[in-house]
């Protein structure tokens, strides 16, 4: 699996884990997916900084 496909898989599955009763069983997948979402948001923005509010909102995804 190439890196882009693996990243997409992690982000997709971390979103699905939001509905799981005990997501801590999949903690590494959840953390990797959230990190991917955050990195994607940062790289998509032309600003050099990201607000605390935006980081907190992305962390809740």
Q: What is the pLDDT of residue 59?
A: 66
Query: How many Cβ atoms are within 10 Å of 50's Cβ, its own excluded?
Result: 13
Give the pLDDT of the chain (61 residues) as one tens digit per residue: 787 777 788 888 888 887 778 777 888 888 888 888 888 877 776 777 778 888 787 766 5
Report how many domains make up the chain.
1
Q: Which domain holds residue 32?
A: 3-59
Q: Which two tokens stand for residue 20?
A: 């799981």
Q: What is the pLDDT of residue 39?
A: 82
């Amino acid at each position: 699996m190439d890196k882009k496909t693996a990243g997409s898989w992690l982000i997709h599955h971390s979103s699905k884990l939001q509905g799981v009763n005990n997501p801590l069983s999949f903690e590494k997948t959840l953390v990797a997916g959230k990190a991917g979402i955050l990195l994607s948001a940062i790289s998509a923005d032309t600003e050099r900084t990201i607000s605390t509010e935006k980081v907190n909102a992305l962390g809740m995804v």
